[in-house]
Structure 1
Amino acid sequence: MIDIMASAALAADANPTEQEQNAALQAHFQPNVSVDEIEQVFHLKRAQPLLQVFTALFHGGFEGVLVRLLVLRELANDTASSAFSRADINTKLAYMLPESLETVLMRLRSNQLLAWDAQQAVYRVTPMARNVLSAIDSLLGLGQTEDQAEMGFLLSQVAGAQAVGGVTVEQLQHLLGRLVDLTEEFRDAIASGSEFRLRASQAKWHLACDWVEKGSEILRAITSDERADAATHRAAQAIGRAQSQLLNMQGMFSRALNQIERQRVHLGQSGLSTTDIKRWLLEHEDLASLAEDAIDQPAKPLFITPAEMIDVAETELMAERAGNTGEGGLPTGQDAPTTINDTPAMQKELDDWLARLSDFANLNNFPSVAEGAPKEIPVHESLLPASFAVASYRASLLPLLGDAAEASLQGATAELARLPLTFTPTDTMVKLPDLEIAAISMASLSLDLEESGKADE
């Protein structure tokens, strides 16, 4: 006990003064830059007591951090009493060594995580310690869930701050930064052209969209709050734009997967593709084990001299000449082997629908130049009649109309993008007397007469 108190006294004597701390901090910056002129440094220095609490908890090796958090959580979780005597602590943490427990208690007490009441000779957990543990427990609890998008904790912080009226611009900027990171990650996955990476990113995208739906209600509350300042409103609007970019990536995923589907290679008539083989290989951790017992006998190399090589070559040459002395003429004809059309059914659906839209877009085939002729049709008339799967597939291709990037490519989807049609969606729904589709978004396909006239010229 005396040694511990002596080491604590030496540590207190070794603590630098405020002037020495400022000098040490200034050493990390350019000589012509004053530390006090940086805004973020001012905010961090103002939060020095809280940051020192985290330093006291997480300084050192993982074992020491684990023991400090264990002691503090054991005391904070005991709600039967707000004060603990040393005997109570020894009983509650009897599984620890007395020396280690004494060191941890002194560290927590010296950093305002535990308060010592000298009159009653008891320890008390400070409010700052409870706030720190609450933040750590929230992060640990969300880390155990399957949140691949890693937006749950950030969104919960914004929601909690908004509920008590204390949301800050920094919290909104953290959420905005995560949305930007996800958007860049999904764009890289689409640009990679890897089917497995695309499907993994698409699943992660669906999880991120679930969080976006929950966050939209919070953003509406922030933007409608009259107490929020201009910076908070700008950050909330930036988050809304980032969410819109994230939601609009569904068409990019569908387009990339459709492109991979068209380029997929099938092995004969077996129905297996290169994707199936790659998926099967990925399920095996040790690919070398697949070669076991695959070869019955090892390869036996044969070595011959140059003289023997010449003799063999001469024999083969003379045999070939002797075979060419027979009767000349063309070989007898043979029937060509029967093949089966491997064109995917969905490709045929795309070709049929493309021909249908082309008839509408072609002024020579559609009487749109006459007076009173329709220049616009409801979108469900172009999608139906069809099954739910075919109608959904057609609807997913509508955003390609007028896409300049897609129109510069080749293929059926590029022809679709070059059609002089304009797709105009709305937020309302229209009910349909269809057996498979009960309702559909109200939208229209309009004919661009100028583009169509240029195409005819």
Structure 2
Amino acid sequence: MNQQIAPDDEDQDSLQAYFKPDVSPDDLEQVFRLKRAQPVLQAFTALFHGGADGVLVRLLVLRELMSDTQSSAFTRADINTRLGYLIPDSLETVLARLRSHGLLAWDPAQGVYRITPIARNVVAAIDGLLGMDKEEDDADMGYVLSQVAGSQAVGGVSIEQLHHLLGRLVELTEEFRDAIASGSEFRLRAAQEKWHAACDWVEKGSEIIHAITTDSRADAATHRAAQAIGRAQSALLNMQGMFSRALNQIERQRVHLGQSGLSTTDIKTWLMRHEDLASLASEAISLPVTPMFITPSEMIDVAETELFADKRNAVNSVLPAGENAAVTASEASTIPAELDAWLTRLSAFATDSSGSTKVHDTLLPANFAVASYRASLLPLLGDESESALQGGTATMARLPLEFVPKDGMVKLKDPHVAAMSIASLTPKKDIQSTTQPNTQPDIEHDR
């Protein structure tokens, strides 16, 4: 059985070994860009290849040499004096590695070391990342946004940098939506604090995005990326209402302990502050628990007593006299049947293509009680909150009808209803652009 083994970094002979046989890496755009940046990648390899301690020492040496702004050249004696706290052999190994990878340049004519421009760029990028205060950047957007701002200032913002910022905004939006969907109050509040930090960065980034979109020198891809970032920022800012609704829902469901003013949230917060919850039980019981033991003989005596007691009670007990069960006649409510009939009638009006229908023609004929019940349901037509529910009233809210009331009353020749508000029911396809808000029509009893 043949088993394919992934190529090892040390034994890698060519880049093609990582790709499928029918795929050429030179045909990929990203491979071309990475190959073009090979000197920079080699500089990072020289710094970060190996153990963490070795990486720390290499960065220490470079940063220490770059901190001297008085001279651009260093003799070996100067380096030994500045880095006298390092072992000479270890210092020599670090200098040789930096020199062999082009981070330090040796000038044999003058016998001095010089820091190369690529080394300054690499260390400056690392210092920019290390300089971001984690406590002030909970949203982890500061470094990416600073790169976009710096590139925009010098007129060289790239589409990749904009994509990095867009990707971070999308990640934050999904993270906040997951926190809202979780229903956890603690996760919601932590996400809300992070959202506030992200909004601060969004305000700072809006000016940069505006400058990019108004820059006539930017290409179409850059404009599209900037516009996508603007939409992602809007979606992020619009989550404030979602946080408020979720927290209000949790507030309504919070359980309070009697009249103490404490809630389950307060107790959970107090418990979370203790690293060792088991320690709370220390000295909680003043006396140790003493187990009680019973011999088998005592257990038999108790069981025998209980058994005979049950038999005596069974013999002496008398069943109670029987009684006739009370017969009650239950009348089913007529409201569901009346609602079903009303929905059937309204559905017929919704499919009528002749136009609007007067309300009194839809409510009547019926007695005053039924007509009033039907009229009370008319404001539910088109109600979005009601249509999202289940049941008869929700079905009525989803009907394609519009209730349009008007001022005034119309007198009717009906034995039960003397007058009714002027209103009409109109199918949705025939609704005009101007409508009035739904109100229940007034019905006057024919006395």
The TM tier, using the shorter chain, reads 0.5 to 0.7
Tell me whether 1:199 sits opposite 2:185 in the alignment. no
Is residue 306 of structure 2 the alignment partner of residue 313 of structure 1? yes
In structure 1, the residue matched to 2:229 is 239
Classify the secondary structure of the residue corresponding to 2:113: strand
Q: How does 1:178-197 map to 2 (within 5 A)?
A: 178-197=168-187
Residue number in structure 2 paired with 1:140: 130
User: Which residue number corresponds to residue 364 of structure 1?
Assistant: none
Distance in 2 between residues matched to 1:227 and 1:299, nearest whole Å: 86
Match for 1:164 among 136, 150, 154?
154
1:200/1:312 CA distance change after superposition, 3 Å: farther
Q: Which residue of 2 aligns with 1:125?
A: 115
Shift of 1:403: 10
The one-character-per-residue Cα deviations of 1:86-123 (angstroms, maximum 9, x if unpaired) are: 11111111111110111111111111111111100000
**Which position in structure 2 is the counterpart of 1:277?**
267
What is the deviation of 1:298?
Answer: 1.6
Q: Which amino acid aligns with 1:63?
A: D
- Residue 452 in structure 1 maps to residue 431 in structure 2: no
Q: 1:154 to 1:319 in 2, by over 3 A?
A: farther
CA gap 1:136/1:320 in 2 versus in 1, 3 angstroms: farther
Structure 2 residue identity aligned to 1:172:
L
Q: Which amino acid aligns with 1:310?
A: A
Return the alpha-carbon distance in structure 1 between the equivalents of residues 48 and 154 of structure 2: 29
Q: Which one of 288, 294, 310 corresponds to residue 297 of structure 1?
A: 288
Q: What is the number of equivalent residue pairs in this alignment?
A: 331
Which TM-score applies when normalising by structure 1? 0.66
Displacement of 1:304 in angstroms is 5.9
TM-score by length of 2: 0.68
2:401 is the counterpart of 1:408: no
CA distance in 2, matches of 1:193, 1:99: 59
SS of the residue 1:31 aligns to: coil
Partner of 2:213: 223
CA shift digits 1:183-211 (9 cap, x unpaired): 01001100110000000000100000000
**Aligned-pair CA distance for 1:149:** 0.2
CA RMSD of aligned residues (A): 3.4
What is the Cα deviation at residue 35 of structure 1? Answer: 0.7
Q: Which residue pairs with 1:40 in the alignment?
A: 30
Change (3 A) 1:297 1:199: same
Give the match for residue 333 of structure 2: none
Percent identity (aligned): 68
| DSSP-derived class of the 1:150 partner | coil
Letter of the structure 2 residue corresponding to residue 184 of structure 1: E
Letter in 2 for 1:408: A
Inter-partner Cα distance in structure 2 for 1:270 and 1:213: 43
Q: How far apart, in 2, do the equivalents of 1:136 and 1:156 lie?
A: 13
Measure how far apart 1:407 and its partner are: 6.5
2-structure distance, mates of 1:249, 1:132: 38
Q: Deviations over 1:245-294 (max 9, x none)?
A: 10111111011111111111111121111111101100111000111111
**2: CA distance, partners of 1:137 / 1:111:** 20
How far apart are 1:67 and its partner, in Å?
0.5
2:377 corresponds in structure 1 to: none
Query: Which residue among 61, 72, 80 is the counterpart of 2:62?
Result: 72
Per the alignment, do residues 257 and 312 of structure 1 end up closer, same or farther by CA in structure 2, a change over 3 Å counting?
Answer: farther
1:260 lines up with 2:240 in the alignment: no
* Counterpart code for 1:300: P
Larger radius of gyration: 2
Partner of 1:435: none
Alignment-mate amino acid for residue 290 of structure 1: L
CA distance in 2, matches of 1:247, 1:165: 28
**2:409 corresponds to which residue?**
none
Q: Distance in 2 between matches of 1:46 and 1:100?
A: 33
Q: CA deviation at 1:76?
A: 0.8
How far has the Cα of 1:240 moved from its partner? Answer: 0.5
Task: Determine helix, strand or coil for the equivalent of 1:142.
Answer: coil
| 3-state SS in 1 of match to 2:114 | strand
In 1, distance between residues paired with 2:97 and 2:295?
82
Partner AA of 2:288 in structure 1: Q
**Structure 1 SS opposite 2:89:** helix
Residues 455 and 222 of structure 1: CA distance in aligned 2, closer, same or farther (over 3 Å): farther
**Structure 1 residues 150, 270: closer, same or farther in 2, change over 3 A?**
same
